């Protein structure tokens, strides 16, 4: 599914984010930037050890914030590492932190003058964020950002499985 928000194409696809050729791909990292399971492990495997070397130098990233490294062997030149919240029932500021993870990633891409960025469904795997709410927050935060900032040409959500893709499509339709 594809829509245009201001001057930016917002696209949803099912796929593997490590194969993306956007300027940056976003990693759903942990606050130690230590690598891990899921999309984090896949990005480090596909990108090679230089990404982890850069992560070690940066040292860490608080929940809701974002940092950037180069993309190593990936097609994407940059990896933006952001840390989504672990879902603990919804009363611990999770929604605000998840929105912040998306917003800070978009701001970092803009500040580096990048034109395209790809996101996974942050926090919806190991971090257990309920999928529909996470999708709504991801999309609403992105749309709100794009209504105020026209520098990005493409924001793509790369959803790994068909259920996640279907839920993102459903939530995007509701927001439009
Ligand atoms: P978190 O710890 O933030 O929950 P996970 O990596 O466990 O992060 O899961 C986030 C989402 O990323 C899940 O929907 C998972 O299916 C998805 N995912 C896993 N591998 C990939 C990949 N190669 N490309 C895109 N998404 C992926």
**Rounded CA separation 30/175 (Å):** 29
The b-or-e profile of 95-119 (16+ CB within 10 A means b, else e) is bebbbbbbbbbbebbbeeebebbbb
User: 61-96: per-residue pLDDT in tens?
Assistant: 999 999 999 999 999 999 999 999 999 999 999 999
For ligand 1, what atom is nearest to the CA of residue 17?
24
Residue 91 Cα to ligand 1 middle (Å): 23
Q: Is position 40 annotated as part of the catalytic site?
A: yes
Sheet holding 24-28, edge to edge: 2-5, 8-14, 154-159, 116-119, 24-28, 78-82, 66-70
pLDDT at 20: 98
Nearest CA to ligand 1 atom 9: 125
- pTM score of the predicted model: 0.98
**Rounded CA separation 25/173 (Å):** 24
pLDDT at 27: 98
Largest Cα separation within the chain, whole Å, is: 42
Q: Specify which residues 78 forms β-bridges with.
A: 24, 70
pLDDT band at 169; cut points 50, 70, 90: very high
Q: Where are the beta strands (DSSP E) in the chain?
A: 2-5, 8-14, 24-28, 66-70, 78-82, 116-119, 154-159
Specify the residue for token string 């759903």: 28
User: 2-14: per-residue pLDDT in tens?
Assistant: 999 999 999 999 9
Q: What is the CATH number of domain 2-175?
A: 3.40.220.10
User: 26-69: per-residue pLDDT in tens?
Assistant: 999 999 999 989 999 999 999 999 999 999 999 999 999 999 99
Specify the residue for token string 């130098």: 57
Cα separations in angstroms, 24 against 8, 77, 108, 117: 15, 6, 10, 5
Residue 3 Cα to ligand 1 middle (Å): 23
Looking at residues 120-130, what average pLDDT do you find? 98
Mean pLDDT of the chain: 98
Nearest CA to ligand 1 atom 3: 123
């Amino acid at each position: 599914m594809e829509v245009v928000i201001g001057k930016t194409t917002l696209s949803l696809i099912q796929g593997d984010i490590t194969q993306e050729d956007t300027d940056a791909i976003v990693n759903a990292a942990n606050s130690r930037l230590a690598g891990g399971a899921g999309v984090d492990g896949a990005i480090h495997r596909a990108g090679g050890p230089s990404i982890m070397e850069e992560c070690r130098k940066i040292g860490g990233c608080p929940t809701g914030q974002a940092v950037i490294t180069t993309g190593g062997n990936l097609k994407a030149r940059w990896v933006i590492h952001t840390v989504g919240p672990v879902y603990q029932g919804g009363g611990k500021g999770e929604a605000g932190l998840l929105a912040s993870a998306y917003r800070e990633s978009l701001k970092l891409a803009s500040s580096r003058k990048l034109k395209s960025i790809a996101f996974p469904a942050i926090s919806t795997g190991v971090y257990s964020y309920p999928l529909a709410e996470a999708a709504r927050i991801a999309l609403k935060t992105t749309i709100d950002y794009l209504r105020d900032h026209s520098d990005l040409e493409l924001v793509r959500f790369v959803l790994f499985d068909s259920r996640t893709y279907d839920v993102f499509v459903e939530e995007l339709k509701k927001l439009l």
